[in-house]
Amino acid sequence: LARGGRTQSSLGSGCVRMALQGVCVLSLCVLTAWAAVEGSGLVDAVSERRAEETHRQGSAVAVLFTLLLTTTILTTWLFKHRRCRLLHETGLAMIYGLLVGVVLRFGVHVQPDVIDAPLSCVSNSSPPALLLNISGRLYEYTLRGEVSDTQGQDAPNAEILRKVTFDPEVFFNVLLPPIIFHAGYSLKRRHFFRNLGSILSYAFVGTVISSFVIGVVMYGCVALMSALGHLGGDFFFTDCLFFGAIISATDPVTVLAIFNELRVDVDLYALLFGESALNDAVAIVLSSSIVAYQPVSSSSHSFDGGAMLWSLGVFLGVLSGSFALGTAAGFITALVTKLTRLRDFPLLETSLFFLMSWSTFLFAEACSITGVVAVLFCGITQAHYTHSNLSAESKKRTRELFELLNFLAESFIFSYMGLTLFSFQHHVFNPVFISGAFLAMFLGRAANIYPLSFLLNLGRSNRISSNFQHVMMFAGLRGAMAFALSIRDTSTYARQMMFSTTLLIVFFTVWVFGGGTTPVLSYMNIRYTHIYTITQMHLNLVDEVVSRSYSQDSAWPIRLWYTFDHNYLKPLLTHSGPPLIKTLPACCSPLARCLTSSQDYQVKNTHLYPARRCLVSEILALEL
Amino acid sequence: LARGGRTQSSLGSGCVRMALQGVCVLSLCVLTAWAAVEGSGLVDAVSERRAEETHRQGSAVAVLFTLLLTTTILTTWLFKHRRCRLLHETGLAMIYGLLVGVVLRFGVHVQPDVIDAPLSCVSNSSPPALLLNISGRLYEYTLRGEVSDTQGQDAPNAEILRKVTFDPEVFFNVLLPPIIFHAGYSLKRRHFFRNLGSILSYAFVGTVISSFVIGVVMYGCVALMSALGHLGGDFFFTDCLFFGAIISATDPVTVLAIFNELRVDVDLYALLFGESALNDAVAIVLSSSIVAYQPVSSSSHSFDGGAMLWSLGVFLGVLSGSFALGTAAGFITALVTKLTRLRDFPLLETSLFFLMSWSTFLFAEACSITGVVAVLFCGITQAHYTHSNLSAESKKRTRELFELLNFLAESFIFSYMGLTLFSFQHHVFNPVFISGAFLAMFLGRAANIYPLSFLLNLGRSNRISSNFQHVMMFAGLRGAMAFALSIRDTSTYARQMMFSTTLLIVFFTVWVFGGGTTPVLSYMNIRYTHIYTITQMHLNLVDEVVSRSYSQDSAWPIRLWYTFDHNYLKPLLTHSGPPLIKTLPACCSPLARCLTSSQDYQVKNTHLYPARRCLVSEILALEL
């Protein structure tokens, strides 16, 4: 797969810098105007002045984006204030992005600067970094990407549009991690674990089924286009599968917002949210393993067993590697917060929590596995173990911090999406492909939800009703992940068509499905308020509740996991659960004593009541 | 002034990216190894693999930095836990940085990759962006800076050291803004406004005096070095003044930490903290106006009246521009939070607050004035007006958010400082210059504190005692701002010597002065606990307190300002103070009614008691 257009992966880049990304190009155009300037002192002053101009323009673009976000926030408030649920804030952000895109494309007319001929250098490759010998002095340059040589011909305001376009890797390295971490960190709910088996089925098996169905339907569609002569470039089966993978990732954003506000059935909520959080991980790993699928004879795109196995190996390796790394980081943070008295200083505790979670991402990237996926599992582990070790202050702080980061990143991605519809200059809109994609999307989702629900219902004590299934079918919104995966590489014709189509699918699902969820829920009679209050009576029922809530999921791996978690992991990593010295065999008692903090060692050995209270607080923590 | 070494100002860049900054260089070295590779498909794959390798290494370096910060946090906790005040956390961060620097420089030995010859291109200048025509395809490159051509000869591990070195502009665009904003946002204290006149004198007049004194002493020192033949390059009087400006900025960090913990006299605290927050602004603007001083005949560095006036104009223009912009942004945020009911949604409110404060920085940069200074004034305005409009939830959230950002940025800067002592490869340590600098620093600080205190005491009702003066003299720590200003440009011999010397001065002041503050305070008998509790009795004294606390500062401009603030600005921008319809003339009453929110319109017109309670809460807010 030719991926020359993918720019150098520049890890983590801070929001402002993104806006700068396209800006530098402009200054390039004034290059030849200064060609006559000679003498090193003057050259310095000139290049400095130009660098300052670049910086100034970058700041201006960044101001544009912050104003866009500010407007979105104010309108969101207005919508919430007036209790208007027709449009979610992400839908709003997209509309504002669209408006700004239209204005930039058609409203502003900037006279292009003097366009100069590019420098010609003797080199056979495009290195990521470059030393240039300019009049005897060495300057270092870094690669930003390949530039299409139709520059200046396509759009009237190509320069401005390129200025507001930035490196797609920014999404993966800056914007997605907080969103995905937040999703994982919000998963700490009792109902999530009660439905763990079903969630895993939908997220893993379901997403793979969906990708494959979409891939096959799209391959048929592409064959049709090819027969009709509508196809303007190569489109292989791997491309179709890739499209299937990126389109199968449903977005937790709107689910979280709408279902949280409406207080729908908790099981439905857990299923939908759990699935959409975890299938992001599956989609990202699946798409990268499809990219890794390269038949031995690089020219042919026929089926190759070895390459297929290699892809499967990549899929399993990256997924399990990310899982192991994310979980390990969570465990380390839990142990550190448990064994130190860091909780006396919430600022230090929050900083440590933030740094450890972030270094999970970095460490995964340094190990060449997927940071975003590692961060998801890290978030889940942090929520399940570390969270209960934190001081009340830090619990609040960490939640609020990641809530804020998530909100900002999300609003930014969605408004950028709107902007991209007009600022991206290589859109390929093909009616056949688009219709096919919409059809494939529905078929893929249906092939995920209905058969799996049928199979799961065979084993579940509380069945997933057909109403629930219809809502799950309907609530499959596509969002940030689909966008980020599709914009990552737009170098070939196939990828450009995929990107344009994905954009339309995101718009459609967010506006139509997102806006329609409330009426659909009312129509399906699912909307009701479930308020769970802990009263004194609950104290007497606690043990019963705990055992019942986990035995409800009849699958034995889940029960086994719960027992292991409750008897070993929780006592090891947190202050809850039975003391380790009781659960571990006698030979391990020195170790157990060492890992049981004096605090809960005392508590657990002296009274029965605190142990029970501990369980209540655990239940409360899971519930809230 | 030749500033060719100053790299392209890349605005805002995200912490990770910094670590990447030097990394790209490495991949460069493998360039020629691939020179034989031909064919576009293979070139793509190769350059992609190299980009991935760069990304991987960048992540690894970023992991190193997060681990450094994590270790600092854990040790800080240990010190706080054991109540050890010998070393402040910033001092700790520097020590860890030093250790890592030593290990990287002497401990690790990496075989350098194949070093290749740079590409030679036909160009007379070094543009910030570059299009390269490589085998018929266009690639875009951006400038990272000039590279010294002694590469590979100086240090044993030059590659690794360059990997952990990053663009100095990162300090100005990413790390300083949250620190400076936090300083401004923490200034909301009654005692700050009571001492406003004195604080402004120390910060503005004092810093200018100090810069000039240091400049003159250093010029003498340089003349001596020149006579002794110790000078290895040009060192002009403007360089000396520049050094004076960067060394005159005292750091609020340690003052805040130590004095907050010890609860020293509130007036002394206000003087020290206020001065060190505001003199950062003065130092940054002063240094940039000295850089702007360029005599007409660019070869001579003699005195030039026109250039001098130009510098003065730049100084006043940038300072007042930043002040106006920062204040305006604060006013807008205050009005938005006052007039909308955004407070019902703390997440939206906090996001808006964050975005508005950040866009102040960006907007200032886009207008070519200093963002860091604008952010300081924005922080002060936000604290004084917007803060009181926020919901209780958002008040907490914004404080905690900026506290966290400040803590992380600060720890990072200080540990990077330690690292730089070994990783920076162009240190110029000159014993004469260093001794001169230490002497000049003391003289400059003395020339700031003692004469000004004498003059101020003539007008102050509560005089600044000589003990206070000695403490102010002693607590003049140099920190992040001095470092950031000195590392910004290290292209010339003079600048390199300044940078190395500044580093030593920061180390000395943070370790010796920072660690010695507690004993000095005890010795001076200043350490006592001042606990201000609001009781029912205070309700009766409120009006008296308000008027007394402001009339105490006898300077009429301060009194005038207070009246204006209390009668017009506060009622306009917040819900406190007398209603506008009473203070504004009758002709403006429609406007006044429009700007008075219905909420406080009702309250203020019906009862006297709420008005008084309002004042109490105002006092409390100022106090806490």
Residue A610 pLDDT grade (very low, low, confident, very high; cuts 50, 70, 90): very low
Least confidently predicted of A272-281, A530-539, A550-559, B450-459:
A530-539
Most confident of A148-152, A468-472, B142-146: A468-472
> How confident is the prediction for chain A on average, in pLDDT?
76
Q: What is the pLDDT of residue B154?
A: 47
> Given this model, what pLDDT does residue B207 score?
93
Using the beta-carbon criterion (under 8 Å), do A129 and B3 form an inter-chain contact? no
pLDDT value, residue B46: 63
Whether the CA torsion B153, B155, B157, B159 is positive or negative: it is: negative
Give me the mean pLDDT over the A471-485 stretch.
Answer: 88
A342, B81 contact by CB (below 8 A)? no
Give yes or no for B124 touching A (CB within 8 A): yes
Q: Which residue of B has its CA nearest to A76?
A: B348
Residue with more model confidence, B261 or A528:
B261
pLDDT at site A3: 35
Q: Which two tokens stand for residue B218?
A: 């250093």
Confidence of residue A261 (pLDDT cuts 50, 70, 90): low
**pLDDT greater than 50 at residue B116:** no
Distance between CA atoms of A295 and A308, rounded to whole angstroms?
8
Average pLDDT (B198-204) is 91
Rg (CA), chain B: 27
pLDDT at A147: 60
Which DSSP letter does residue A135 get? T
Nearest C-alpha of chain A: how many angstroms from B264?
21
User: What's the DSSP call for residue A586?
Assistant: G
Name A139's bridge partners: A132, B146
Q: What is the pLDDT of residue A206?
A: 94
Report pLDDT digits (tens) over B51-95. Answer: 777 788 888 888 888 999 999 899 888 888 887 767 778 888 899
The overall longest dimension of chain A from CA atoms, in Å, is: 88
The predicted pLDDT at position B544 comes to 44
The Cα–Cα gap between A115 and A33 comes to: 9
Length of chain B: 624
* B547 compared with A563, residue with greater pLDDT: A563
CA distance B158 to B354: 40
Specify the higher pLDDT residue, A224 or A526.
A224
Higher pLDDT, B294 or A267: A267
Please state which of the ranges A18-22, A142-146, A515-519 shows the lowest mean pLDDT. A18-22
Q: Within an 8 Å CB–CB cutoff, is residue B351 touching chain A?
A: yes
CB contact set of A79 (below 8 Å; sequence gap of 6+) = A85, A87, A89, A92
Query: Is A266 a residue whose pLDDT tops 60?
Result: yes
Spatial CA neighbour of A500 closest among A613, A387, A423 = A423
Residue B234 structure tokens: 């040009």
B114 φ, ψ (degrees, to nearest 5): -60, 125
What's the rounded Cα separation, in Å, for the pair B244 and B218? 8
Residues of B within 8 A of A66 (CB-CB) are 355, 358-359, 362
SS3 B390: coil
Minimum-distance CB partner of B365 among A56, A119, A348: A56
Torsion of CA B384, B387, B392, B397, to 10 degrees: -130
Q: Which of A7-11, A166-170, B212-216 has the lowest mean pLDDT?
A: A7-11
Of B621 and B195, which is predicted with more confidence? B195
Q: Which conformational region is residue A115 in: left (phi greater than 0), alpha (psi within -120 to 50 degrees), or beta?
A: beta
- pLDDT interval class at B148 (50, 70, 90): low
Q: What pLDDT was estimated at residue B295?
A: 65
Query: What count of other Cβ atoms lies within 10 Å of the Cβ of residue B263?
Result: 13
Tell me the three state secondary structure of residue B130: strand
Distances (CA, A) of B304 to B2, B174, B213: 18, 36, 20
User: What is the pLDDT at residue A96?
Assistant: 92
Residue A210 has pLDDT above 90, yes or no: yes
Question: Is the model more confident about A157 or about B527?
Answer: A157
Name chain A contacts of B174, Cβ cutoff 8 Å.
14
pLDDT, position A300: 56
What is the pLDDT, as a whole number, of residue B588?
73
| pLDDT tens, position by position, A154-184 | 455 676 777 777 778 888 888 889 999 998 8
What would the two tokens of residue B296 be? 């007409």
Contact call for A130 and B132, based on CB within 8 A:
yes
Band of pLDDT at residue A44, cut at 50, 70 and 90: low
Rounded to the nearest 10 degrees, what angle do helices B176-185 and B371-381 cross at? 30
pLDDT surpasses 90 at A523: no
Label residue B211 by pLDDT band (50, 70, 90): very high
Contact flag B44-A3 (C-beta cutoff 8 Å):
yes
Contacts of B69 in chain A (CB under 8 A): 351, 355
Which range is most confident: A497-501, A512-516, A586-590, A597-601?
A497-501
Q: Hey, is the C-beta of A313 within 8 angstroms of any chain B C-beta?
A: no
Of the candidates A59, A128, A363, the beta carbon closest to that of B54 is on A128
Chain A neighbors of B50, CB-CB under 8 A? 127-128
pLDDT at site A607: 42
Q: How many Cα atoms within 13 Å fall on the side-chain side of residue B59? A: 25
Residue A330: is its pLDDT beyond 90?
Answer: yes
Query: CA–CA distance from B230 to each of B233, B239, B288, B515 (Å)?
Result: 9, 17, 28, 34
Q: Which residue of B has its CA nearest to A403?
A: B347
Contact (Cβ atoms closer than 8 angstroms) between residue A111 and residue B33: no
Instruction: Tell me what the mean pLDDT of segment B579-606 comes to.
Output: 65
Whole-model pTM? 0.82
Could you tell me where the DSSP H helices lie in B524-608? 536-551, 556-564, 570-573, 580-583, 589-595, 598-606
B115 at the A interface (CB within 8 A)? no
Percent of chain B predicted with pLDDT > 70: 71
| pLDDT at residue A297 in the model | 57
What pLDDT is stored for residue A110 in this prediction?
A: 63
pLDDT band for position A368 (cuts 50, 70, 90)? confident
pLDDT of A257 higher than 50: yes
Query: CB–CB of B383/B189 below 8 Å?
Result: no
Q: Cβ–Cβ of A173/B397 closer than 8 Å?
A: no
Q: What was the pLDDT predicted at A202? A: 92
Q: Is A303 helix (H, G, I), strand (E, B) or coil?
A: coil
Q: Give the residue from chain B lying closest to A1, CA to CA.
A: B41
Q: Per-residue pLDDT for A410 more than 80?
A: yes
pLDDT at residue A263, rounded to an integer? 63
Q: Which residue in this structure is represented by tokens 């506008």?
A: B580
Mean pLDDT of A280-285: 90
Are A174 and A15 in contact by the 8 Å Cβ rule? The answer is yes
User: What is the distance in angstroms between the Cα of B297 and the nearest Cα belonging to chain A?
Assistant: 13
Closest CA to B404 of B191, B185, B105, B584: B185
Q: Is B102 exposed, middle or buried (0-12, 13-18, 19+ CB in 10 A)?
A: middle
Q: Looking at chain A from residue 322 to 341, which residues have their Cβ under 8 Å from any Cβ of chain B?
A: 336, 340-341
Cβ pairs bridging A and B (under 8 Å) = 427
Provide the shortest C-alpha distance from residue B371 to chain A (in Å). Answer: 10
Report the residue from A25, A127, A358 with minimal CB separation from B28: A127
CA Rg, chain A, in Å? 27
pLDDT at A475: 82
Q: What is the pLDDT of residue B296?
A: 57
> What integer pLDDT is reported at residue B8 of this predicted model?
32
3-class SS of residue A115: coil
Q: Does B358 touch chain A (CB under 8 A)?
A: yes
- Residue A25 — φ and ψ, nearest 5°? -55, -40
Q: Does the interface ipTM go beyond 0.95?
A: no
Which among A10, A57, A358 is the nearest to B66, CB-wise? A358
Tell which B residues from 531 to 550 touch A, by Cβ distance under 8 Å: none
Per-residue model confidence (pLDDT) at position A76:
86
B157-170 confidence digits (pLDDT tens): 666 777 777 778 88
The reported pLDDT for the residue numbered B377 is 92
Contacts of B400 in chain A (CB under 8 A): 347, 350, 397, 400-401
Identity of residue A168: P
| Residues 58-87 in B contacting A (C-alpha not used; CB under 8 Å) | 58-60, 62-63, 66-67, 69-70, 73-74, 76-77, 80-81
Query: For residue B540, is pLDDT > 90?
Result: no
Q: Which chain A positions have a beta carbon within 8 Å of B36's beta carbon?
A: 124
The Cα B28–Cα A162 span in angstroms is: 27
Distances (CA, A) of A376 to A487, B66, B71: 21, 19, 24
Q: Is the pLDDT of residue A28 over 60?
A: no
- Mean pLDDT of all residues in chain B? 76
Angle of the A346-366 helix axis to the B40-81 helix axis, nearest 10: 160
Tell me if B41 and A2 make a contact (CB, 8 A cut-off). Answer: yes
pLDDT, tens only, B302-344: 667 788 888 888 899 999 999 999 999 999 999 999 888 888 8
Q: Between chains, do A70 and B15 touch, taking CB under 8 Å as contact?
A: no
Is residue B254 within 8 Å of residue B478, measured between CB atoms? no
Tell me the CA end-to-end span of chain A in Å, nearest whole number: 47
Least confident segment among A472-486, A555-569, B484-498: A555-569
Per-residue pLDDT reduced to its tens digit, B17-59: 333 333 232 222 222 222 223 233 444 556 667 777 778 888 8
C-alpha dist (Å) from residue A177 to A180, A254, A281? 5, 18, 11
Q: What's the distance, CA B149 to chain centroid? A: 33
Taking the Cβ of residue B10 and every Cβ of chain A, the question of whether any pair is shorter than 8 Å is answered with yes
